Amino acid sequence: MIPPDHRKDFEELEASLLYCRNCRRPMPVRKRLLLVLLDRETYDYVCTGCGSPVGKKEEPLTPAGVRRPRLR
């Protein structure tokens, strides 16, 4: 179990490989902006091999309409 003080380290994860059903193996993915709403942005993860969507991600926006800064 992850201690509560370390959970914030995993708030912002970016996928680089996801399993593609069409290619039948883990493939590199691109993150593509799909939808912008007042409180969040929705992204699709797209397989670089065949172009099919393989996952989704939502990122919340701050009240000013700006994405939260990423910690690196």
Amino acid letter for position 6:
H
Does residue 42 lie within any of the structural domains?
Answer: yes
Q: Which residues contact 32 (CB under 8 A, 6 or more apart)?
A: 43, 44, 45, 46
Does residue 6 lie within any of the structural domains?
Answer: no
pLDDT value at position 63?
Answer: 66
pLDDT tens-digit profile of 4-15?
Answer: 666 666 667 788
Its pTM stands at 0.70
Does residue 47 lie within any of the structural domains?
Answer: yes
What tokens were used for 27?
A: 């493939």
Domain assignment of residue 57, given as a range: 31-63
Does residue 10 lie within any of the structural domains?
Answer: no
Give me the mean pLDDT over the 42-71 stretch. 82
